[in-house]
Structure 1
Amino acid sequence: MAIETIKPLMSLPENFKINEVLPEPVAGLPKPEPTLGIALSHFTGTFAGTGFNTIFRPNSAAPTTTTFTNPVTPAPPTPPSENVLELNLTQETLTFASSLGTVPNRGLEAQNDIVLNGVPYAQAINDVTNPATGRGDGKATAIHFEPGLWMRVPTTETTPKLGASLVRMGSIPHGTTINAQGLEPKAAANGPPTIPPVNITPFVINSSPPHFIPFISQTATNKNTPRIPQDLTTFIAAGTITQEILNDPNQVLRNAIAGQTITSTITFTVSTTPPPPEFGGGAGNIAFLEGDVNTTNPNADAVRMTATFWIETVEHKIVVPPFKPGEPALKIPATPAKPGLPAPVFDVLPPRELLEPTTITVTSTQIQYSQVVFLNFGGLTWPHVSVATLVPGHTQTVPHSAWG
């Protein structure tokens, strides 16, 4: 995808900053804007890239929601099979607006006031699955849009006694809102991330340990199954949707960074049901998704969401052609780790004349994430997994230090 052509999805009004309302002016200099922290400070501008999405969709009985080119064998019971496994090769744009400023939260009695800061975001995802090629080069069909906020909550010592945390508050068009929380990472780690596996196999609701119920649609070579696409032959040949990837969609993330030079990684996880000592958050659904007042017969109740993010510093070597002072700046794309993967574009203005091609080392920020939304219907919990690798969608300025 042509990263340098990506346009932002959103912006705030010029000079828009939240601040506390005081009864009268306070003498002295204004208070500094609260920090965004080690993680959210990287959430700036527009990022774009590619990914993979899996979702078991409910399938209604009469009339059936989805019909298939190939007959489903063995034949489903009556009514028709309750689910369809949809697989999407995706292109994504993720835009962050400028920081909000000073967002006061008032403490009660012994707990002092705190001040949050954060960045609005908007996420847009297209399906670009092309059965003819087995790649993500098909017609773009919008499948997801999510506006929301990333906020940083500072450490509190009284009510509650809790370290600094990150909060993602998002709205999903299907009728779900999320408040996902997690403790802020303390530092970046050297080198690339360690990305654990993720499992899309459904399991019996509230079973502990999970009682997994695998489905025939999870077998990549099966062409007669309630799945979109049904026939994965071209995808298996292209390496874009394989049995290894269906077993563990996070393999898409590992494939994307294989061959990259990643010098450091910031890792954090947010969840609507965060583990102790963090607490709070949750997911809210419209009545249609819950099915009834007690959610005993949901159509697709989103009960939980967990997402892990890896913010990576990637090192690139780019070749700058001969250059004379006074010529316009050069736009040079980094070489992607593999054909078809996104790569940032660099704005290069050499500080001196170059008589021959010159290789310089530059860095960029890369965002990877793995998200699981757990949907309840038909007596099972169905993991809905989305992964993506995103690079800056605007040209990156090469610093003076790159020239030695």
Structure 2
Amino acid sequence: MDEPKPLTSAFNRTANFSIHQVDSVFRAAAHAAAVPAAVPVTLPPTLGPLSAFAGTFTGQGFNTIFRPDSATTPTQMPGPINTTDPPDNVLELNLTDETMSFSNNLGSIPNRGSGPQADAFLNGVPYLQTINDVTTGTPVGIHFEPGIWLAVPSSTNPHEPFTVARMASIPHGTTITAQGTALPAVAGKPTIAAVDITPFFGGNPANKFTFQNQTAANKTTRRLPQDLTALIASGKLTQAMITDPNTVLRHQIAHQTISQTIIIETSTKPNSPLSGGPLPAVPSAGPHPQAPNFAGGTSNIAFLLGVPAPPPGGNGANANAFQMDAVFWIETVIYDIDVPRIGSGEPPIILQPLQKGTVPLVPSFVATLPFVPNKAYAGGRVRVATTQIQYSQKVMLDFNGLTWPHVSVASLVPAAPVPIPEHLLPLT
């Protein structure tokens, strides 16, 4: 990370708040009145892979979106326009700076079964995502998303395995519920498939329409930024990134030592299917957990939906977000840190890993020792494992007779310095 990030919590929630079923409280109260005794402690349901979503993560990413260009309020381009593209869209490219804050889990969330289906007890992790555009060097807020990740136990009605779900609200006027599964942990780093931003006709991804604003060298199209010369010269933006935004994710992990990866696949239309569908987590065929047969969806305000043609005044959707697919990679990354001699009880030392020179985004680390008189850590190189979150998300937008993929990717690392375990800093 180039600059330290403020660690102010993004949440202001009542301390120790958690959800429990109300009827258990009444039973416990009745039992205590009859036989005064300690009420047994009930542990919250498992979070499964969502247990990695803890604390605050920060990082960098890339966002691409074809947005409508109204004839009434056209987007003014910085330079001249000389293109044969139809004047119905602007391709916006954003280099991004992101913060993802996770709150404590919500506890035991009762969902009541009917008939033979037993009650299901969910658990959830609230989160807040904020994204700034930093393409010009001046941060501009472009995304704000409060939401909840849910861990959903297996059920018989419907017959589904353990799944995870993401519920989110986006201030443009869209809410989503995306459900999916976590693949078994694999050793090493993930294989991240390509993702294509090219719009297409008739709901058929094979029937593509490539626009001139997708060509980085073209300086006279409807695109923001319009002239990419300086960004390309600096290495901050490439044609490969526009063609396949997941290039950014592969660049982050190219020189990293990753011991384990957990893959979470979610969709608002999970029977696509997830793997091998619009955004495959694994490019080759292979065994995958059963995905939900039905679930989720998107909901949009009337402005986004528009009025279908041909009714009077109907021009179709302004920008109907009708599907979202996303893959999250939860990676365990190993870093090497050179720790100097530290006297027992000395102030904590913030350190950078040796990988800082070869990896675009790394966390910092903190070394601290308990106070033991006349003892010290002699200094040396240590290896520390910590969590990294990467994601690739594709939202399908409908306007002007095409489907327009809106792709966002990011790599996120712990915002606070990662503590170096004390057993790696023996006192002598």
What is the TM-score with the length of structure 1 in the denominator?
0.91
The corresponding residue for 1:312 is 331
AA paired with 1:366? Q
The corresponding residue for 2:281 is none
Q: Is 2:262 aligned against 1:258?
A: no
The corresponding residue for 1:133 is none
SS in 2 for 1:5: coil
AA paired with 2:10? L
Q: Percent identity?
A: 47
Shift of 1:350: 4.4
**Conserved in 1, the CA contact under 8 Å of 2:193 and 2:246?**
yes
Question: Which runs of structure 2 are paired with 1:121-200 in the superposition (5 Å)?
Answer: 121-130=127-136, 138-156=137-155, 158-185=156-183, 187-200=184-197
**Conserved in 1, the CA contact under 8 Å of 2:82 and 2:221?**
yes
Runs of 4+ in 1 over 4 A off after TM superposition: 293-296, 335-340
**Conserved in 2, the CA contact under 8 Å of 1:3 and 1:392?**
no
Q: Is 2:236 aligned against 1:234?
A: no
SS in 2 for 1:256: helix
1:209-229, Cα deviation, whole Å (9 max, x unpaired): 531000000001000110001
The corresponding residue for 1:6 is 7
The corresponding residue for 1:334 is 353
User: Which of the residues 71, 78, 96 maps onto 1:69?
Assistant: 78
AA paired with 1:143? I
**Conserved in 2, the CA contact under 8 Å of 1:11 and 1:98?**
no
Shift of 1:25: 2.3
SS in 2 for 1:148: strand
Shift of 1:5: 3.1
Shift of 1:359: 0.9
Question: Which runs of structure 2 are paired with 1:268-283 in the superposition (5 Å)?
Answer: 268-275=264-271, 277-278=291-292, 279-283=294-298
- Distance verdict in 2 for CA 1:75–1:195, change over 3 Å: closer
AA paired with 1:290? L
In 1, the alpha carbon distance for the partners of 2:423 and 2:402 equals: 55
AA paired with 1:52? F
Range moving further from structure 2, 190-199 or 335-344 = 335-344
The corresponding residue for 1:201 is 198
In 1, the alpha carbon distance for the partners of 2:407 and 2:245 equals: 7
User: Which of the residues 53, 65, 70 maps onto 1:43?
Assistant: 53
Shift of 1:336: 4.8
In 1, the alpha carbon distance for the partners of 2:73 and 2:320 equals: 22
Q: Is 2:30 aligned against 1:32?
A: no
In 2, the alpha carbon distance for the partners of 1:312 and 1:206 equals: 33
SS in 1 for 2:409: strand
In 2, the alpha carbon distance for the partners of 1:25 and 1:397 equals: 43
Q: Is 2:302 aligned against 1:292?
A: no
**Conserved in 1, the CA contact under 8 Å of 2:85 and 2:211?**
no
**Conserved in 2, the CA contact under 8 Å of 1:266 and 1:312?**
yes
In 1, the alpha carbon distance for the partners of 2:368 and 2:357 equals: 27
Where structure 1 has 5 or more consecutive residues not aligned to the other structure, the ranges are 131-137
SS in 2 for 1:394: coil
1:17-64, Cα deviation, whole Å (9 max, x unpaired): 100011732455132211111x10000010000000000010000232
**Conserved in 1, the CA contact under 8 Å of 2:258 and 2:333?**
yes
1:171-224, Cα deviation, whole Å (9 max, x unpaired): 000000000000233x311101110000000001323x5310000000010001
User: Which of the residues 394, 397, 405 maps onto 1:372?
Assistant: 394
AA paired with 1:7? T
SS in 2 for 1:401: helix
Where structure 2 has 5 or more consecutive residues not aligned to the other structure, the ranges are 32-38, 274-290
SS in 2 for 1:212: coil
In 1, the alpha carbon distance for the partners of 2:266 and 2:85 equals: 38
In 2, the alpha carbon distance for the partners of 1:342 and 1:75 equals: 39
In 2, the alpha carbon distance for the partners of 1:4 and 1:141 equals: 16
Q: How many residues align?
A: 388
Range moving further from structure 2, 107-116 or 286-295 = 286-295
The corresponding residue for 1:359 is 381
**Conserved in 1, the CA contact under 8 Å of 2:109 and 2:123?**
yes
Shift of 1:6: 3.2
**Conserved in 1, the CA contact under 8 Å of 2:64 and 2:408?**
yes
**Conserved in 2, the CA contact under 8 Å of 1:52 and 1:387?**
yes
- Distance verdict in 2 for CA 1:219–1:154, change over 3 Å: same
**Conserved in 1, the CA contact under 8 Å of 2:256 and 2:359?**
no
How large is the RMSD of aligned CA atoms in angstroms? 1.9
**Conserved in 2, the CA contact under 8 Å of 1:89 and 1:127?**
yes
AA paired with 1:73? N
1:265-306, Cα deviation, whole Å (9 max, x unpaired): 111111000026412100000000000268970000001001
In 1, the alpha carbon distance for the partners of 2:152 and 2:101 equals: 21
User: Which of the residues 289, 298, 303 maps onto 2:322?
Assistant: 303
The corresponding residue for 2:410 is 388
What is the TM-score with the length of structure 2 in the denominator?
0.86
Question: Which runs of structure 2 are paired with 1:72-111 in the superposition (5 Å)?
Answer: 72-74=81-83, 81-111=87-117
